[in-house]
């Protein structure tokens, strides 16, 4: 596959030298600014200086939106989003995310201190990339998403990432990415002995303060390692 273009990003750095990087991918039609406000809301301790990187997805036509051009990590061709997933588009975004991981390594953050995170479409890319990445990563944070082609992705996963922590959060009232897709993804990963913590919330396709508190606790666990 032709090498993908390096993504444009927004970046928020801690006051101290970062010991951990979180790369957080937005959902369909949003951009990197969508989750900027989550950083102060997390209220991370000074003992856990984290660099947050928010990439902008490329602009591309999206089939279910009548071909309207918007920021998307891959095309969606059906309102039944788990059907006919755009495998080529997912792989292209996976390659672009891998480039960002490699860039962080060059800046001095080892791969095992890099967490891949995402919301909705971004969660799909975070899960897919995190499982297949050729080096050990720090963790995967998947919000309101799912894992397409799960058995194939797992069959081609890197054994080094078998034990990394995976946080999956999903709203029970989600009418965009149905709740059952989040639970099914978690169950499939657990069946293959992945270290998954699944969290449900009485919310639609969004992120709640309760979920942010749970994410904070999950991230702070790095301070105790």
* pLDDT for 1: 44
Task: Tell me whether residue 4 is in a domain.
Answer: no
Q: How many domains does the chain have?
A: 1
The band of 6, judged by pLDDT with boundaries at 50, 70 and 90, is confident
pLDDT band at 51; cut points 50, 70, 90: very high
> Domain of 44?
9-224
By residue count, the chain amounts to: 225
Q: Which residues are catalytic?
A: 120, 174, 205
Q: Measure the CA–CA gap between 23 and 64, rounded to whole angstroms.
A: 27
Q: What is the mean pLDDT of residues 85-105?
A: 94
For 12-56, give the DSSP string.
E--SSPPSEEEEEE--TT--GGGGTTHHHHH---TTS-EEEEEEP
* Residue 204: CATH number of its domain: 3.40.50.1820
Q: What distance lies between CA 215 and its chain's CA centroid?
A: 13
State yes or no: pLDDT of 87 exceeds 90.
no
Which of 90, 99, 78, 79 shows the shortest CA–CA distance to 153?
90
| DSSP E strands, the chain | 9-12, 20-25, 50-55, 59-62, 68-71, 114-119, 139-143, 165-171, 195-201
* 160 inside domain: yes
Residue 141's pLDDT band, with cuts at 50, 70 and 90, is very high
User: Would the pLDDT of 83 be above 80?
Assistant: no
CA–CA separation, 180 vs 170, rounded Å? Answer: 9
The pTM is what? 0.95
pLDDT at 23 (0 to 100): 98
pLDDT confidence band for 128 (50 / 70 / 90): very high
The rounded Cα 15 to chain-centroid distance in angstroms is 24
Provide the token pair at 143.
Answer: 């919000």
Is 94 domain-assigned?
yes
Asked whether the beta carbons of 78 and 177 are under 8 A apart, the reply is no
CB atoms near residue 35 (< 10 Å): 24
In the structure, what pLDDT confidence band is assigned to residue 54 with cuts at 50, 70 and 90? very high
What pLDDT is attached to residue 208?
97
Query: Is the residue at 217 inside a domain?
Result: yes
- For residue 104, being part of any structural domain is answered with yes
Residue 1 lies in a domain: no
Q: Per the domain annotation, does 106 fall within a domain?
A: yes
Per-residue pLDDT tens for 183-222?
Answer: 999 999 999 999 999 999 999 999 999 999 999 999 998 6
């Amino acid at each position: 596959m032709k090498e993908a273009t390096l993504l444009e990003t927004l970046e928020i750095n801690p006051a101290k030298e970062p010991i951990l990087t979180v790369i957080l991918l937005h959902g369909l039609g949003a951009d990197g600014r969508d989750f900027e406000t989550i950083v102060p809301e997390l209220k991370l301790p000074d003992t856990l200086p984290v660099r947050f990187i928010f990439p902008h997805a490329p602009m591309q036509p999206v089939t279910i939106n009548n071909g309207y051009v918007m920021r998307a990590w891959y095309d969606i061709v059906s309102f039944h989003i788990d059907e006919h997933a755009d495998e080529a588009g997912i792989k292209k975004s996976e390659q672009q995310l891998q480039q960002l991981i490699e860039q962080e390594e060059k800046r001095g953050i080892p791969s095992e201190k890099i967490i891949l995170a995402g919301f909705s479409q971004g969660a799909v890319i975070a899960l897919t990339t995190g499982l297949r990445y050729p080096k050990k990563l720090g963790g995967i944070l998947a919000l309101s998403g799912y894992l397409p082609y799960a058995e194939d992705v797992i069959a081609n996963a890197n054994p080094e990432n078998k034990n990394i922590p995976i946080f999956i959060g999903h709203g029970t009232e989600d009418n965009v990415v149905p709740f059952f897709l989040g639970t099914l993804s978690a169950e499939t990963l657990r069946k293959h002995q992945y270290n998954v913590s699944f969290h449900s919330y009485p919310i639609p396709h969004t992120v709640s303060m309760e979920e942010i508190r749970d994410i904070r606790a999950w991230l702070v666990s790095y301070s105790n390692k």
